[in-house]
Amino acid sequence: MELKLVANLPQEDFDRFVENCTSGSFLQSWGWGEWMRANGKVPQRVAVQDSTGNILLTAQIFLTPVPKLGGSYLYSPYGPLLAETAPAEEVTNFFLSQIAKQFPKSSFLRLEPKQPLPASGKATRHIQPGKTLVLDLKKSEDELLAEMHQKTRYNIKLAQRHEVAIKIGSSEAALKLIDETSARQGYKNHPLSYYQKMVEFFGNQEGALKLKVYSAEYNGQTLASAIMLDYGSASRTYLFGGTSYTDRNVMAPYLLHWQAMLDAKKAGLKAYDFWGIETASGKTPGFVRFKLGWGGTQINYPAATDIVYKPLWYNAYKLLRSLNRKFS
């Protein structure tokens, strides 16, 4: 089979392939690439085509500098994407060989596919969630409720009895709560300005990605908030969230997510992705237990793989990463 690597595929063709791919992700979408460009990371979009122009594989790749060490590596979050009918080994090997030639200064290529790929490299820990929880929104409301833990159903009703108000729309209080929660819980977070910029960016964009900010209010205070990202008709993803220690007994986060699910279902979205149910430590903190109470299907993605070009540099990088769990 004659193959070619294309670096100038039109946006419409690129996005159509990503959206129709069973393992497609918003992280591989054109719109997400533009968001990353706005944050200083230029997307490199490539495709493998056969002699008749059929797209067999696409990959959105970001050149990632490494602080302290210098140099950089290539990173494809939840990519590459392989067509179901493509000869997997032939296409993947061609893709890897061409990327190595196209980016000779990079030290390695990190792949985080959602589907198994015949790529031999060094297994590494994920940057994106390697395990997540997805709810099937094609099911009825009664079916969704039946699959939840009894306590989750009870807490939804409790928040309704307390008349917690769920609102959609960005507010300073909602975004600040997300920022404060990540700092309080001690996990890797973005500054408040990042969330503000994100809301503004996607609010002015046309395309398959739509951002919504949900908040739960009680007695005039914001008790919970969440940034949701909708991708075409495929999924609503719970990207970032915040909760307050105030009035925790009214169970505001439960009603927030239930309403977000119902809204997504009404909009025709097929899935609700809780975006990760694991931590680097392997422990099960409160936010993971909260997610698991909703039922759904737990999904384990294949191991992330590093295709190494410069072994000495890579060994130094691995040492730095082992010393700092927040090091990407």
75: CATH? 3.40.630.30
Residue 285 shares a structural domain with residue 165? yes
Residue 172 shares a structural domain with residue 162? yes
Residue 240 shares a structural domain with residue 280? yes
**DSSP string of 210-252, one letter each residue:** EEEEEEEEETTEEEEEEEEEEETTTEEEEEEEEE-STTGGG-H
pLDDT at residue 323 in the model: 85
Under 8 Å between Cβ of 216 and 256: yes
Q: Let me know if residue 254 belongs to a domain.
A: yes
**pLDDT at residue 283 is higher than 60:** no
SS (H, E, C) 121-159: CEEECCCCCCEEEEEECCCCHHHHHHHCCHHHHHHHHHH
pLDDT at residue 287 in the model: 84
pLDDT at residue 100 in the model: 96
pLDDT at residue 221 in the model: 96
Quick one: tokens of 199?
């809301």
pLDDT at residue 284 in the model: 58
Cα 239 from Cα 243, distance rounded (Å) = 14
User: How confident is the model over 22-71, as pLDDT tens digits?
Assistant: 899 999 999 999 999 999 999 999 999 999 999 999 999 999 999 889 99
- Rounded to an integer, the average pLDDT of 293-315 is 96
Residue 98 shares a structural domain with residue 141? no
Q: Is the dihedral of CA 94, 28, 279, 107 positive or negative?
A: positive
Residue 89 shares a structural domain with residue 162? no
User: How confident is the model over 105-146, as pLDDT tens digits?
Assistant: 999 999 999 999 998 899 999 999 999 999 999 999 999 999
* pTM, to two decimals: 0.93
- Look up residue 94 and give its amino acid: F
pLDDT at residue 282 in the model: 54
Residue 20 shares a structural domain with residue 53? yes
pLDDT at residue 324 in the model: 78
- Rounded to an integer, the average pLDDT of 319-325 is 83
204 burial via Cβ count (<10 Å: 0-12, 13-18, 19+): exposed
Q: Let me know if residue 57 belongs to a domain.
A: yes
pLDDT at residue 200 in the model: 95
Residue 7 shares a structural domain with residue 116? yes
The residue segments making up the domain with residue 274 are: 131-300
Give me the number of domains the chain comprises. Answer: 2
Quick one: tokens of 88?
């997997």
User: Cα separations (Å) of 168 from 24, 152, 176?
Assistant: 27, 22, 16
- Rounded to an integer, the average pLDDT of 89-115 is 96
User: How confident is the model over 145-157, as pLDDT tens digits?
Assistant: 999 999 999 999 9
Quick one: tokens of 188?
């890797």
Rounded to 10 deg, the angle between the 30-38 and 11-20 helix axes is: 120
Under 8 Å between Cβ of 307 and 111: yes
Residue 115 shares a structural domain with residue 140? no
Cα 79 from Cα 95, distance rounded (Å) = 12
Nearest to 266 by CA among 160, 143, 133, 138: 138
Helix (H, G, I), strand (E, B) or coil at 115: coil
| Average pLDDT of the chain, as a whole number | 93
User: How confident is the model over 204-261, as pLDDT tens digits?
Assistant: 888 899 999 999 999 999 999 999 999 999 999 999 999 999 999 999 999 999 999 9
Residue 64 shares a structural domain with residue 165? no
pLDDT at residue 68 in the model: 85
Residue 123 shares a structural domain with residue 142? no
Q: Let me know if residue 328 belongs to a domain.
A: no
Residue 204 shares a structural domain with residue 271? yes
Q: Which helix (H) or strand (E) holds 56?
A: strand 55-65
User: How confident is the model over 159-207, as pLDDT tens digits?
Assistant: 999 999 999 998 899 999 999 987 776 666 789 999 999 999 998 888 8
Q: Let me know if residue 201 belongs to a domain.
A: yes
> Taking the C-alpha atoms of 44, 195, 177 and 224 in order, what is their torsion angle to the nearest 10 degrees?
-70
Residue 66 shares a structural domain with residue 18? yes
**pLDDT at residue 281 is higher than 70:** no
Q: Residue 279's pLDDT band (boundaries 50, 70, 90)? A: low
Cα 129 from Cα 120, distance rounded (Å) = 21
Q: Let me know if residue 261 belongs to a domain.
A: yes
Return the residue matching tokens 């949701």: 228
